[in-house]
Chain A
Amino acid sequence: MPFSADNVQRQMSEDITTQNTLTQRNQTAVMGPQVGNLALKGGVPIVSEDGRELTTLNLGPTHPSTHGIFQNILTMDGEKIVSGVPTIGYIHRAFEKIAERRPLYQITTLTDRMNYCSSPINNMGWHMTVEKLLGIEVPKRAQYIRVIMMELARISDHLICNSILGVDSGAFTGFLYVMQKREEIYEIYEEMCGARLTTNMGRFGGMERDLSKEAIRKIREFIKSFPPVMQEFEKMLNRNRIFIDRTVGVGPVSQEMALQYGFSGPNLRAAGIDYDVRVMNPYSSYQDFEFDIPVGYTGDTYDRFMVRNGEIWESFKIIQQAVENLPEGPFHADAPEFYLPPKQEVYRNMEALIYHFKIVMGEIPIPVGEVYHAVEGGNGELGFHLISDGGRSPYRLKMRRPCFIFYQAYPEMCKGVTLSDAIIIMSSMNVIAGELDA
Chain B
Amino acid sequence: MLTNQEIADDLLSQFGDKIAGFEEHHEIMSVFTTVETAKPMIEYLYKHPTFQFQYLTDLAGIHYPDNKGGELSVVYHVHSWTNNHRLMVRIFVPIDAPNVPTLVDVYKSANWMEREAYDFFGINFVGHPNLIRILNIEEMDYFPMRKEYPLEDATRQDKIDALFGR
Q: How far is the CB of A119 from chain B (nearest CB, A)?
A: 21
User: Does chain A have a CB within 8 A of B89?
Assistant: no
Contact between A408 and B54 (Cβ–Cβ < 8 Å)? no
User: Does chain B have a CB within 8 A of A419?
Assistant: no
User: Does chain A have a CB within 8 A of B45?
Assistant: no
Contact between A370 and B145 (Cβ–Cβ < 8 Å)? no
Contact between B135 and A89 (Cβ–Cβ < 8 Å)? yes
Residue of A nearest to B73 (CB): A396
Flag B120-149 by CB within 8 Å of A: 1 or 0 each.
100000000010111111100000110000
Contact between A398 and B111 (Cβ–Cβ < 8 Å)? no
Complex Cα spacing A343 to B116, Å = 43
Residue of B nearest to A93 (CB): B135
Complex Cα spacing A363 to B164, Å = 8
Chain A, interface SS category: mixed
User: Which residues of chain A are near B138, meaning CB under 8 Å?
Assistant: 30-32
User: Does chain A have a CB within 8 A of B112?
Assistant: yes
Surface stretch bound by A, among B1-9, B10-18, B55-63, B91-99: B55-63
Interface residues of A in 73-95 (CB under 8 A from B): 88-89, 92, 94
Q: How far is the CB of A116 from chain B (nearest CB, A)?
A: 18
Q: How far is the CB of A403 from chain B (nearest CB, A)?
A: 11
Complex Cα spacing A363 to B159, Å = 10
Contact between A387 and B55 (Cβ–Cβ < 8 Å)? no
Complex Cα spacing A438 to B57, Å = 17
User: Does chain A have a CB within 8 A of B22?
Assistant: no
Residue of A nearest to B144 (CB): A97
Contact between A262 and B25 (Cβ–Cβ < 8 Å)? no
A88-B111 contact, Cβ under 8 Å, with A262-B57, A369-B25: no
Complex Cα spacing A337 to B91, Å = 36
Complex Cα spacing A259 to B55, Å = 6
Interface residues of A in 259-290 (CB under 8 A from B): 259-262, 273, 275, 280-281
User: Does chain A have a CB within 8 A of B26?
Assistant: yes
Q: How large is the interface on B (under 10, 10 to 19, 20 to 34, 35 or more residues)?
A: 35 or more
User: Does chain B have a CB within 8 A of A400?
Assistant: yes
A92-B109 contact, Cβ under 8 Å, with A396-B62, A398-B58: no
Contact between B111 and A408 (Cβ–Cβ < 8 Å)? yes
Interface residues of B in 93-123 (CB under 8 A from A): 107-109, 111-113, 116, 120
Complex Cα spacing A273 to B82, Å = 11
Which of B54, B62, B77, B116 contacts A387 (CB under 8 A)? B62
Contact between A371 and B25 (Cβ–Cβ < 8 Å)? yes
Contact between A372 and B77 (Cβ–Cβ < 8 Å)? yes
Contact between A383 and B57 (Cβ–Cβ < 8 Å)? yes
Contact between B54 and A405 (Cβ–Cβ < 8 Å)? no
Interface residues of A in 418-438 (CB under 8 A from B): 437-438
User: Which residues of chain B are near A385, meaning CB under 8 Å?
Assistant: 58, 60, 75, 77
Interface residues of A in 24-69 (CB under 8 A from B): 30-32, 34
Which of A98, A260, A383, A405 contacts B112 (CB under 8 A)? A405
Complex Cα spacing A52 to B68, Å = 56
Complex Cα spacing A34 to B63, Å = 28
Interface centre among B56, B84, B111, B135 (most CB of A within 10 A): B135
Residue of B nearest to A387 (CB): B62
Complex Cα spacing A85 to B87, Å = 32
User: Does chain A have a CB within 8 A of B28?
Assistant: yes
Flag A383-413 by CB within 8 Å of B: 1 or 0 each.
1010100001001101010001111110000
Flag A360-377 by CB within 8 Å of B: 1 or 0 each.
010100000111111000
Contact between A381 and B57 (Cβ–Cβ < 8 Å)? yes
Residue of B nearest to A29 (CB): B138
User: Which residues of chain B are near A260, meaning CB under 8 Å?
Assistant: 107-109
Residue of B nearest to A280 (CB): B84
Complex Cα spacing A92 to B136, Å = 7
User: Which residues of chain B are near A187, meaning CB under 8 Å?
Assistant: none
Contact between A94 and B109 (Cβ–Cβ < 8 Å)? no
User: Does chain A have a CB within 8 A of B151?
Assistant: yes
Complex Cα spacing A385 to B86, Å = 13
User: Which residues of chain A are near B152, meaning CB under 8 Å?
Assistant: 101
Complex Cα spacing A98 to B145, Å = 10
User: Which residues of chain B are near A94, meaning CB under 8 Å?
Assistant: 144
User: Does chain B have a CB within 8 A of A96?
Assistant: yes
Interface residues of B in 38-62 (CB under 8 A from A): 54-58, 60, 62
| 26 pairs, A vs B, C-beta closer than 8 Å | A88-B135, A89-B135, A92-B136, A94-B144, A96-B120, A97-B151, A101-B151, A259-B54, A260-B107, A260-B109, A280-B81, A370-B26, A371-B26, A372-B26, A372-B28, A372-B77, A372-B88, A383-B57, A383-B58, A385-B58, A385-B60, A396-B62, A400-B58, A400-B77, A408-B112, A409-B108
Given contacts A392-B159, A396-B63, 9 further A-B contacts (CB under 8 A): A30-B138, A98-B151, A262-B56, A372-B26, A385-B58, A385-B77, A387-B62, A400-B57, A405-B58
- Chain A residues close to B by CB (< 8 Å): 30-32, 34, 88-89, 92, 94, 96-98, 100-101, 132, 259-262, 273, 275, 280-281, 361, 363, 369-374, 381, 383, 385, 387, 392, 395-396, 398, 400, 404-409, 437-438
